[in-house]
A and B are shown apart, each in its own frame.
Chain A
Amino acid sequence: MSVQVSLTQTSHAHHWETSVAPFAVVAGIFLALPLGFSAYFVYQNTLLTIALLGIGVPLLVFGVARWTTEGLTHAPLVPGLSLIAMPVFIVSEAFIFLALFATYWLTRLTTEAWPPAGSPDMPVGLPLIMTVLLVSSSVTIHFAEEKLEHGDTKGFIKPLVQTLVLGGLFLGCTVYEYSHLFAHHFTPGTNSFGMIFFTVTGFHASHVFLGLAAFVAVLLPALKGRTSTTFLKCVSIYWHFVDVIWFFVVSQIYFW
């Protein structure tokens, strides 16, 4: 199958296309993440960290908002290519997790007693609840998609909000679990189980957070009546991927 370059493109041919959004997002990321992290963890300068985050995060939010608006109002050269691009991007994401799991398997198989001394007993109920939350959020987002595809631009908001709530509860469980473990002095530095546990679940949780942020970017314009099926579909492909990764996290980290 091949999508051909269409004649509508000639309308682009008269002026140089520009957008403020990409530059703003990069500036925001750059100030908030590399510089913010270094200011706090390397140079232990709290004031500088707050200043960097204070400039970086609003820039980032502004850039994303602008980008979303442009994406919803400008016609792309060839429509629908995002639905191909997202799975391609996910290949890359999968390799991040593959590298982390490879590290885990290698560490575990070369350690004599697992879990190593100092590890607490892991809860059984909590990961099951989290699994139920995440799987049901994948179902609700599927309903949202179906509604939007049938042109129900108002009705899809309800299942979208349900997804946001379920995802939010999932993150809440993670926060609860982490604070509980920290209280029992189990941290990333405790032993090799600690470092694996917090790194893998932390990476996964950050993906959940990103997915939720993307859903908010779908929701806010939708409240004003601006929707895009492609946009929603892209984010939900990503969401399903995050869901699949969770099965690996649960089966490998909690129940093995």
Chain B
Amino acid sequence: MSDFKLTEWIFTTDHKRVGILYLIGSLAAFGVAGCAAVYIRLNQLSPSGGLFSDPQNYNIALYFHGAAMILAFLIPGLTGFFANYLVPLMIGARDVAFPRINAFSVWLFFAAIVLALISLMVSDGPDVMWTGYPPYSVTTVGNTAFYVFTVHLLGFSSILGAVNFLVTILYMRAKGMGFNQMNIFVWTVLGAFVLQLIFIPVLASAVTMLLFDKYLGTHFFDPTGGGDVLLYQNLFWFYSHPAVYVILLPAMGVLFEVISTMAKNRVFNYKACVYGGVFGLILLSGEVWVHHLYVAGMPNWLRTGQMVTTLLISVPVGLMVISLWGTLYRAAITYNVAMHYACACLFLLLVGGLTGIPLAMTVLDLHLGETAFIHAHFHFVMALFATFSIFSGIYFWFPKMTGRVADSKPALIGFWLNFVGVTMTFTPLFIIGMQGMPRRYATYEQFPQFEPYHQMATLGAMVVVVGMLLTFYSWINGAIRGPKAAENHWRSKSLEWTHAPSPPGPGNFPGQDPEVAKEWTPYDYAR
């Protein structure tokens, strides 16, 4: 770090540095959105509004927590940081296809973060959740424009990222590397970016019409002016349900790399996982959005049809999960911090996945749809699962990025606090959700019997706060003082470990371009 130059980072076009910038931005967003989560939990401490009682601030906290966690932490963390840092290294390329567009993407992402932070400072901050449903988003005094532009900036950033990475993966693989020799992570990134490319424009159009409705006097979503209020919800979820798979796919990909390396085992059912799992998700993810609108007034043929596709989508996800578990079968497993997080992911995904089945069924969803049950379900299956997967990946590739190891006592204690804490926070929400605790409400004076459950959830959130502080400490401490890592620290077979130094310099691979043999795979542990 002695030759650190700030301009070399701000104006960098190197995929690894762009990746690190994504990591810094998304972890910062995670920190602020985490504070919003703590605010929400403290608000629910007692039925009348806990420590804070201003419902407007509660709404802004809900908005910021949801929008920042999904759009500024999970998606950029996975498709920004991991994809940028790892995809060129894994496929043996010296950079992405368009390095300047890559730098453009990351600064668009930072512009969106700055805009989101400004929206916390203005007196009329957006208070429209992360969904921005009209008519409220059009009639509110809150600044819906900032919400719309945050989505625009992030969307544009992701679309350009998609173009860049699809071309990179298809045309810049190392000599000899066939499609069936790619890391599963590379496949999942490919899948995620196909979804981003196709579905983000729809969301961008939807929020643009919202902007026009609020500020230019149109009536796209106003039935009194000839519009249709449900149209927004359809367009919104047409993107935002696939967005779940934009997060799930690379999060799964990270787990495949961690688990196969730590188990020193081949990926079980590679082809079923790729051609059934990843491709199945790409095909089905655009046909399930109506399950977010079961109670909104959709026609029955559509609800029933999409109930079937929603249940069906557990098949590709199941194929990938079977591959993950199968990779552990008869393996020599090393339990380091990355592997602890990976195993926790298997549990979180199981709980989140199984509670998703009743929600997919229209009749049950009518009762559970607007309760805390949903809340708990999507935190397990998406938020917690993907966050733990990101943490697993950070510990796993930490030696690659810094040349040092972040595994330590605080890291392990942090893991257990995080794991116990999130389970404590969200399990009670399943129970009170089934008993009728509504989502999103700032107060619950009509349900005083739920107070102990909420208190337990808030206590869990406090445990997570301590765990997160320890986790962040372990990273900072590891980067500065951690023990030096070996070149191929986990003895992986993947190109980023076998061919590039830790950390890799400009151009990634010293000397000749990497070349792979016909029978080479990144999971070649049997030989």
Contacts and interface: CB of A to CB of B under 8 A. Distances in A.
B8 to A, nearest CB: 5
Contacts of A71: 100
A81 B95 CA distance: 13
Interface residues of A, number: 68
A199 B94 CA distance: 43
Given A5-B172, A17-B13, A29-B111, A88 B101 contact: no
A191 B225 contact: yes
B146 interface: yes
A143 to B, nearest CB: 28
B204 interface: yes
Interface stretch (B157-165, B255-263, B414-422): B157-165
Contact of A199 (B149, B172, B198, B212): B212
B226 A16 contact: no
Secondary structure type dominating chain A contacts: helix
A45 interface: no
Residue among B152, B166, B218, B509 with most chain A CB within 10 A: B218
Nearest to A192: B226
B200 interface: yes
Given A5-B175, A192-B226, A25 B104 contact: yes
Nearest to A15: B506
Contacts of B166: 88
Given A9-B513, A103-B231, A18 B172 contact: no
Interface string A201-217: 00000000000000000
Contact of B507 (A2, A13, A42): A13
Contact of A78 (B143, B172, B512): B172
Contacts of A21: 100
A242 B363 CA distance: 46
B10 A99 contact: no
A183 interface: no
B483 interface: no
29 contacts: A5-B175, A7-B513, A10-B512, A12-B94, A12-B506, A13-B505, A14-B506, A16-B12, A17-B99, A20-B11, A21-B100, A23-B11, A23-B103, A29-B111, A30-B114, A34-B111, A37-B149, A41-B145, A85-B164, A88-B162, A88-B167, A89-B160, A92-B159, A95-B201, A99-B235, A100-B205, A103-B209, A107-B226, A194-B218
Given A2-B171, A9-B513, A18-B7, 10 more contacts: A7-B512, A7-B513, A9-B507, A13-B94, A14-B507, A22-B104, A77-B97, A89-B163, A96-B201, A107-B227
